[in-house]
Structure 1
Amino acid sequence: DLGRRGAPALVALTGAAGGAGGIATSIAELPVTITVIMHAIRNAAVAEGFDPDDPAIRVECLRIFGAGSPLQRDDGVNTSFIGARIAMSGAAVSKVVASVAPKLATALGQKLMAQAVPVLGAVAGAALNTAYLTYYREIAEIRFALLRLAQTHGPERVLSEFQSAVKPIPLYRA
């Protein structure tokens, strides 16, 4: 286990190495970065008492990874925990993967473009990898905490409270 500090250091290092070498090394470092991010997501599940090898939790990990990037607008995926349970059929898993793939391609395309120039690529690669890890870790912590609360207090109540907590406060007086 890399821990809270080891994971960001590793993804920063791989991002810098990948960015310094241009597109070819950026592509080569992606599997390491993705592995570290997925491990962080799985650790968030474990921290909330879930078994990361449970098929439903694996699907939830994929959903979290499919949430996009910190560079995209929130599409409400962080409240989808109350959705119907996915049956673990091949078709259901294929559907999840199909929904994750386009978002992942967009996020990775943005990352690769930023890493195209060696010196700037090294800095951008380190910063982007760290930002992505932080983002996915935080989303995973929130999602699995909400899932745990939903099991205890019911999904409708948790969703209602969550929506109230994140409702924007008007900046003007009526």
Structure 2
Amino acid sequence: MSAKLPVLYQPGLSGSDMESLRTAVAALERQSFAGRIARLAGRKVGIVGQSLPPEVHQAALNAAQRALTVALNVALSSLEGAPRGDTTRFHRRLAAFAGGVGGAVGLAGLPIELPLSTTIMLRSIADIARNEGENLREPETGLACLEVFALGGQEDENILEGGYLAIRGLLAKSVSDAARYVAARGMVHDSAPALVRLLSQVSSRFGVVVSQKAAAQAAPVLGAISGAAINLAFTEHFQTLARGHFTMRRLERLYDPAMVRAEYARIAREEGYWEAPAGA
């Protein structure tokens, strides 16, 4: 049997791909969900630091866990049936509708509304992934879609050194183990250790944004903003992250991944998204 030929990457990013990378860095590092809500309200709104009653905070975390469990099953079973083409606006309208229905009953509707909104977002994320050349039949692609929900959990607007790349590094082993499990078994068992570990890591970060969403819906200063508008901002936030994430994965298929990540880090520091290393 002949030896497997090495993958030959292009030596450097083309001009258009460098611009795509810069756009991806901005999408992944520039803004938080809290920042979106502040802009929506037209003022500085401190929802990040706002303390929710412990039972509401726990309910938000539980809702995030359940929503991601539903999303995992969808991600590994039926994404291939996602509509083709750019369905961004369609999914935004669906999410706004779900948010409006949930907002009508207040925070008590979060356990029902969030799984629906998360599944709608997942379908939109899958559409973005496919438009960037991903194969939705591959378990790894479904898990990469799930990863997006872990990318929006920064606590504030100050992004620490590492940003997106650090989060991917933290998730890498869990994603790899989960992909191997699904490929070997050909089915999804939520209780499988590899999937439980990945869900735990993703939900801990997704829960931050869900808590911010709950705080926004509960904040008196945002009372005039409908649940539909908040859910629209919620969906747009993760769509933006998905575009950056799958642009990165596309570039890593075309070029040496280490080189792409090094360029990403250079741009992130150059643009001031990351703190410069000590002594730099």
TM range (shorter): 0.7 to 0.9
- How has the CA–CA distance of structure 1 residues 131 and 18 changed in structure 2, closer, same or farther, with 3 Å as cutoff? same
Paired residue total: 170
Inter-CA distance 141–32: structure 2 relative to 1 (3 Å threshold): same
Residue of structure 2 in register with 1:43 after alignment: 127
Larger mean Cα displacement after TM superposition, 87-96 or 154-163: 87-96
The residue number in structure 2 matching 1:114 is 216
Aligned in 2, Cα 1:99/1:70: closer, same or farther, shift over 3 Å? closer
Partner of 1:162: 264
Partner of 1:123: 225
Cα separation, partners in 2 of 1:117 and 1:145, compared to 1, 3 Å:
closer
TM-score (norm 2): 0.52
Q: Is the 8 A contact 2:97 2:228 kept in 1?
A: yes
| Paired AA for residue 37 in structure 1 | M
Residues 117, 165 of structure 1: alpha-carbon distance in 2 compared, 3 angstrom cutoff:
closer
Q: Is the 8 A contact 1:7 1:36 kept in 2?
A: yes
TM-aligned CA distance change 1:83 to 1:157, over 3 Å: farther
Matched-pair identity in %: 27
**Structure 2: where are the runs of 5+ without partners?**
1-82, 182-191, 273-280
Aligned to 1:32: 116
Secondary structure at 1:30's aligned position in 2? helix
| TM-score (normalizing by structure 1) | 0.80
The alpha carbon displacement at 1:169 in A equals: 4.3
Q: Which residue of 2 aligns with 1:141?
A: 243
Between stretches 125-134 and 39-48, larger displacement belongs to 125-134
Which 4+ stretches in 1 moved above 6 angstroms? none
Q: State the match for 1:78 in structure 2.
A: 164
Greater fraction of residues in helix: 1
SS state at 1:107 partner = helix
The residue identity in structure 1 corresponding to 2:99 is G
For the 8 Å contact 1:18–1:26, the answer to whether it is kept is yes
Does structure 2 conserve the Cα–Cα contact (< 8 Å) formed by 1:64 and 1:139?
yes
Between Structure 1 and Structure 2, whose CA radius of gyration is higher?
A: 2
2:92 alignment partner in structure 1: 8
Per mean C-alpha deviation after superposition, the further-off stretch among 9-18 and 85-94 is 85-94
Match of 2:10 in 1: none
2:136–2:142 contact (8 Å) kept in structure 1: yes
- The RMSD of aligned alpha carbons is 3.0
Displacement, 1:77?
5.5
